[in-house]
Amino acid sequence: MTTAVDRAVDAANVGANVVHDFSMFGMFMQADLVVKVVMMALLFASVWSWTIIIDKRMALKRLNKRADRFEDAFWSGEPLDKLYQRVKKGKQDPVIKTFAAGMEEWQNGVSGGLPSKESMQASLRQRVERAMSISINREMNALERGMTFLANVGSTATFVGLFGTVWGIMNSFTAIASTQNTSLAVVAPGIAEALFATALGLVAAIPAVIAYNKFTNDLRRYADRLDAFVSEFAAILSRHLDNFESGRGVSSTGTGTNASAKKDDWKVA
């Protein structure tokens, strides 16, 4: 395989009149094996980073819109048991899964009627909140898939490109030593390959860093949104249990079990 040194020697032997192809494709094809591997790795990292970026952007936009619609339904006054039966049949997303986890734990806890002891009620509230928190952690772990790759590309791509740069410059100096000729025809090909590797490293790293920072903030805000929903849902359950204790609630939540509770118990004010 022809290396930068061989090309430099050939150029010197013919009077430095060899015309090199300095287009991006030409520099790639003329590079030696090591620089080609570096370029291909950086190109793959860039393409895969953009795939993650586009997918993550579309997913977060879609999830926030669905969360807006769900919250509108949640605060519309519709009984939560009816809302639960309706949304669990549709497309699932983190907000709906979190809501479903809380409702399922609540329904299991009151299947025999609302607990009368305060300690049992506190335990029920804790189980509901724990089930919803576990669901949030599971969903956020799924949403964060690909973020590690963006972080790795953002932090290492420039150094990988720098390795290609150093290798190309080494070829140039080796060519100078082999030909005893310091003309640009000798050193230009290796330096061009080196700079091209550096450019590819930056092309891969810069979007990855920007996207990682943005998506980290977006995911944190989305997680805060889910946590706030858990707090709101827990407050509704606490109010329902307090109403039961004060004699305004009866023995159920209106979720279909012991449905002697008032119809509006599960409506959100």
Question: Is pLDDT of 12 > 50?
Answer: no
Q: Which of 141, 110, 138, 136 is nearest to 229 (CA)?
A: 136
What's the pLDDT at 90?
78
Whether 157 is covered by a domain: the verdict is yes
Mean pLDDT of the chain: 79
Whether 112 is covered by a domain: the verdict is yes
What's the pLDDT at 111?
76
Whether 210 is covered by a domain: the verdict is yes
Cβ proximity of 251 and 113 under 8 Å: yes
What's the pLDDT at 237?
84
Q: What is the pLDDT of residues 210-244, one digit of tens each?
A: 999 999 999 999 999 999 999 999 888 888 777 76
Question: How many domains, the chain?
Answer: 1
Give the C-alpha separation, 142 to 194, whole Å. 38
Q: What is the pLDDT of residues 92-110, one digit of tens each?
A: 889 999 999 999 888 888 7
Whether 100 is covered by a domain: the verdict is yes
Whether 105 is covered by a domain: the verdict is yes
Whether 266 is covered by a domain: the verdict is no
Give the C-alpha separation, 88 to 238, whole Å. 23
Domain that includes residue 199, residue range: 4-10+22-78+92-256
Locus of tokens 């393409």: 47
Q: What is the DSSP letter of 191?
A: H
Q: How many Cα atoms sit within 13 Å of 23 on the Cβ side?
A: 4
pTM of the model: 0.75
